[in-house]
Structure 1
Amino acid sequence: MLNREDVLIVDGYNMIGAWPELEKLKLERLEDARDRLLDLLAEYQSYSGVKITVVFDAFRVPGAGAAFRQHRLQVLFTREKETADECIERLVGDMKSVRRNVYVATSDQVEQTVAFGRGAFRVTARELRLAIEEGRREIESAIRREPPPKRNPLAGVLRPDVQLRLERLRRGGTFSEEDGEE
């Protein structure tokens, strides 16, 4: 879906409200839902290589907004009197370039239309969740396919006498006359 040069801007609270697992967490404690979302997105960012920015709406919270990095994700809380939608629109304008695509993950129809009008591609909450799940399946499949590491990967490459010398060195020994030199 996305390339390594691409940027994905995620409407954080929109994802929390759209994903059943996060919606359930939100009912118990909003902070837990945010943390779980960030964990899922960080895993997806590591897998896909796409740069992810997550925007949380702090419209009714007094202050200048906040920006920080968590799990190598950029996390933004909007400024006072700024909605997540306004922040996302500003970010799309700042990040849009010829060399990369900007994607906006939200299920808000109006925000999708505005982001698309500014040159971003739309990703619904459902599409993002499916991409994350597919990435997890591919990682698990790759892990299962990998053969167990060989105890000694040089065993089939080196002559037995060279292996013996190296083993003696590994155990703290030195070469002796009986090892022979070639």
Structure 2
Amino acid sequence: MKNIFVDGYNVINSWSELKKIKEYSYEAARTELIEKLSNYATYKNYKVFIVFDAHMVIKSIEKKEKISDNIVVVFTKEGETADAFIEKTVNKIGRKIEVCVVTSDSLEQQVVFQRGATRMSSVEFYHEVKSVENKIKSKIEKKYSEKRFTLEDTIQKEILEELEKIRRSN
């Protein structure tokens, strides 16, 4: 299973729809990002770690929350940036399993690449997530249209003939 590490605030600040939500509420922007990436991760069968900086929050401790089998949300501890957490984690696993890091920070991209991970900018990732959303939407629409029944499909033939007679007589 491919592991993707996402610099959460970097993505929120790069995606215009999340940036607008952030203007009103960081929590709402985080929730929207988590929801979008949950669908993405499930569809692609990837494990996604969404890492948010809490390094400026006094006395904060590292907090990991498993949202589903495919999504883990991490808030870093006081004094630790999302970049530092991702670098440390990728350093441990980067050459053992398939890892991709999503950030638009070019220095961060270079560091994780040296440690065995692939990298993707937040904008590239946006287009990939949008593509998956369109595939999911298309699948849902196809299933819905396949399950649509007409009156003729659900009613007995004799009743249908009687209804037709009534319709023609008016």
Instruction: Compute the RMSD of aligned alpha carbons.
Output: 1.5
Shift of 1:71: 4.2
**Structure with greater Cα Rg:** 1
Match of 1:32 in 2: 28
Q: Give the 3-state SS of the residue equivalent to 1:8 in structure 2.
A: strand
Q: Give the 3-state SS of the residue equivalent to 1:76 in structure 2.
A: strand
Shift of 1:63: 2.2
Shift of 1:138: 1.0
Instruction: Work out the CA distance in 2 between the residues paired with 1:66 and 1:120.
Output: 23
Match of 1:92 in 2: 90
Match of 1:142 in 2: 139
Instruction: Work out the CA distance in 2 between the residues paired with 1:128 and 1:105.
Output: 7
Identity %: 36
Give TM-score scaled by structure 2 length.
0.80
Q: Give the 3-state SS of the residue equivalent to 1:63 in structure 2.
A: coil
Specify every segment of 5 or more residues in structure 1 that has no aligned partner in the other structure, as ranges: 151-182
Q: Give the 3-state SS of the residue equivalent to 1:82 in structure 2.
A: coil
Shift of 1:95: 2.4
The answer to whether the 8 A contact 2:9-2:53 is kept is yes
Instruction: Work out the CA distance in 2 between the residues paired with 1:58 and 1:86.
Output: 12
For the pair 1:121 / 2:133, whether they are aligned, the reply is no
Specify every segment of 5 or more residues in structure 2 that has no aligned partner in the other structure, as ranges: 150-170
> How many residues of Structure 1 are paired with residues of Structure 2 in the alignment?
145
Shift of 1:49: 0.5
Shift of 1:143: 2.3
The answer to whether the 8 A contact 1:39-1:71 is kept is no
Summarize deviations over 1:63-110 as a string: whole Å, max 9, x none: 222111124411111111111111000111222244x31000000111
2:79 maps to amino acid:
K
1:58 maps to amino acid:
A
Instruction: Work out the CA distance in 1 between the residues paired with 2:15 and 2:112.
Output: 21
Runs (4 or more) in structure 1 with deviation over 4 Å come to none
1:50 maps to amino acid:
Y
Q: 1:149 to 1:96 in 2, by over 3 A?
A: farther
Shift of 1:37: 0.6
Q: 1:93 to 1:138 in 2, by over 3 A?
A: same
The answer to whether the 8 A contact 1:9-1:54 is kept is yes
1:44 maps to amino acid:
Y
